[in-house]
Amino acid sequence: MDHRPRRRLGAWLAAVLLAIGTLSLAGPAPARADVVNPRQQWLRDAQAGLFLHWGMRTSPGYTSCSAWEKAVTDGGWSAGYWVNEAKKLHAKYLVLASFHSRLGYARAWPSAIPGSCSTKRDFLGELIDAAGKQGLKVMLYMTDDPQWHDEGGHEWLDSAAYSAHKGRDVDLTTRDGFGEYSYDNFVEVMKNYPKLSGFWIDNDNDYWLDHGLYEKIRADRPGWLLSNNNEDTPIMDTVSNEQKTGMTPAYDYPQAIWTPQPRLTEACFKLPSSGAWWYSGTDSAVDTGLTLGRLISNSGSSVKSLMAETAQVNGKFPSKQEAFNNVAKSYLDTIWGSLNGTEGGGYAYGGLQPGSWNDGAHGVTTVSRTDPDQHYLHVLSKPSGSTLTVRDNGYRVSGVTDFRTGKKLAFSQGEGKLTISGITGWDPYDTVLSVRTDGRQGIVPAGSMTASAGASASGHPASAVLDGDPQTYWDNNTKLPATVTFDLRSARSIRYLAVNQREWSVAYARSDTEQSARIRDYQVQVSSDGTTWGSPVKTGTLPSARGVQFIDLPAATKRYVRLTVNSTWAAATDTKRYQKLLIDEVRIGSGYPKGTS
């Protein structure tokens, strides 16, 4: 991975799962951006992947390609080892990053294109074959960047050899020259490795864009995925968010993610607690709680965990990472049924509310893709007592059990909250509770009301908050105060609003120029005729937090409800998000469900 400013930022694209849509990009040869495509399904079905930074500069480091290859082979490198370690992490794919700007631009496969290290032994091919036998996929990392061509005082790129190959002078140390060289490598890899599953690309290169690289990949290998690091480039299938820190709690990585569901999204993070992304000679510790917490909280947000481990020259992981993998296998085995085949709860797919709960508790929720009444609570930080309280999001609860033991737990439900009591066996990392429901109750049907706004950006009307489609949303056109008014068409009981804001910004003030674009101060009014509103029935402040947020109201029977947003959390220093409000969905609750304890 490269740690430098990103040059291009594409617009996000999203679509409902299993629906296929397209958008065109401007240009003489328009790229087609498949928002959701059957080729993506294997990654949507995955929860995790294993990232492998491994190349010539892996400690102790080599300047001779043949010497590095000999050390790898003599050390006993085995593709099967990587695949087995990935399976311990319950990963479904591997990303090989040897053609990396900080690792000597090493191509761990034979190539007819001179210009940087290329091995005679086909390590890439062996990895693809070994992974395929175990039902795993392999993606290949490709960099756009020549700036580290002389990293460590050695010139890693051979412009003279590539120029002779092309029959004209090409300087590989320039962006344009390197863009041409890497373009040729893309094409060669596509030809030689049909069983590869795609490219994981670090940024863009203008040469690629100007010469239609992505269009060629789509044409030649339509079943391959394209992933991009830290940029939401429209033609890419996946956006990968590189490791971020500063969240509270630290494991809640999704707070730092700015790509809204249902965009296919990764969170890429290191397992070693310190050091480089690649093996630099140290056996760094792995924080078990932090790593498992990240994996689980990502799953609770429908985000894929791309976990980076630092393979040594012989391919083996340092002992502390290998030990963690062994722990992860036994630990995840016991709870995998609550993660596999699920989506994150409280966002675009329904489910109970995630985030901060009672008495210091924090966690995420998941919901089965095939059974919308099967929910799981993942308590990553336990409460101070033996009781857990979460918002029910309108679901009527019929039973709660400890997922590991099957023990039935006592619960009560009322005023929009599910309270589970008598929990004594808190797990140190993730207490998983299985929650059965009988569907949602007390929700005003979206089709029985309309929504209008005081201001809307073109193409993003207030009606989008009622259409149930997370591809559409209301945009306030940077007008604050912003109002959205609901006409229920007849007088109904009104008890609460459930608001899903678009997850297009981080959920906390990471810096002066990157802040949360979420509702801060608000007020709610009700009316019988849509003209006379009177004083607000509720005023308050919503937290800058991800997931569905609730506004409880005094009991009233009215036809009209108006939500006024007076301010958002983004400061004026964040010019992209200041006063900008995007809302995916608003549900109106006419009453609170009551469960059967």
Per-residue model confidence (pLDDT) at position 14:
33
pLDDT of residue 261: 85
Q: What is the pTM of this model?
A: 0.93
d(CA 288, CA 212): 43
Question: For residue 353, what are the CA distances in angstroms to 298, 356, 411, 501?
Answer: 15, 9, 17, 13
Q: Which residue has the tokens 């069983």?
A: 195
φ, ψ for residue 514 (rounded to 5)?
-145, 95
Phi, psi of 281 (to 5 degrees): 105, 0
pLDDT at 233: 83
Could you list the pLDDT tens digit for every one of the 597 residues in the chain?
644 433 332 332 333 333 333 332 223 233 445 677 899 999 999 999 999 999 999 999 999 999 999 999 999 999 999 999 999 999 999 999 999 999 999 999 999 999 999 999 999 999 999 999 999 999 999 999 999 999 999 999 999 999 999 999 999 999 999 999 999 999 999 999 999 999 999 989 999 999 999 999 999 999 999 999 888 888 899 999 999 889 999 999 999 999 888 889 999 999 999 999 999 999 999 999 999 999 999 999 999 999 999 999 999 999 999 999 999 999 999 999 999 999 999 998 999 999 999 999 999 999 999 999 999 999 999 999 999 999 999 999 999 999 999 999 999 999 999 999 999 999 999 999 999 999 999 999 999 999 999 999 999 999 999 999 988 999 999 999 999 999 999 999 999 999 999 999 999 999 999 999 999 999 999 999 999 999 999 999 999 999 999 999 999 999 999 999 999 999 999 999 999 999 999 999 999 998 776
Q: What are the angstrom distances between the C-alpha of 471 and each of 369, 515, 551? A: 19, 23, 24
pLDDT at 232: 84
What is residue 231's predicted lDDT score, i.e. its pLDDT? 82
Q: What is the pLDDT of residue 234?
A: 83
The per-residue pLDDT for 6 is 37
**Pick from 286, 232, 235, 283: nearest CA to 261:** 232
Q: Which residues contact 58 (CB under 8 A, 6 or more apart)?
A: 103, 278, 279, 311, 312, 313
- Residue 376 near residue 432 (C-beta atoms within 8 A): yes
- Report the C-alpha gap between 313 and 73 in whole angstroms: 9
Gap between the Cα atoms of 181 and 273, Å rounded: 35
Residue 398 near residue 441, CB atoms below 8 Å = no
Question: Is 354 in contact with 547 (CB distance < 8 Å)?
Answer: yes
Q: What is the DSSP letter of 265?
A: E
Tallying the residues shown for the chain, one arrives at 597
Backbone phi, psi, residue 85, to 5°: -65, -35
CA distances from 496 to 21, 228, 555 (A): 34, 40, 9
Q: For position 597, what pLDDT does the model report? A: 67
With DSSP H G I counted as helix, E B as strand and the rest as coil, what are the percentages for the chain, rounded to 5?
A: 20, 30, 50
Please, what is the angle between helix 213-220 and helix 175-192, to 10°? 0
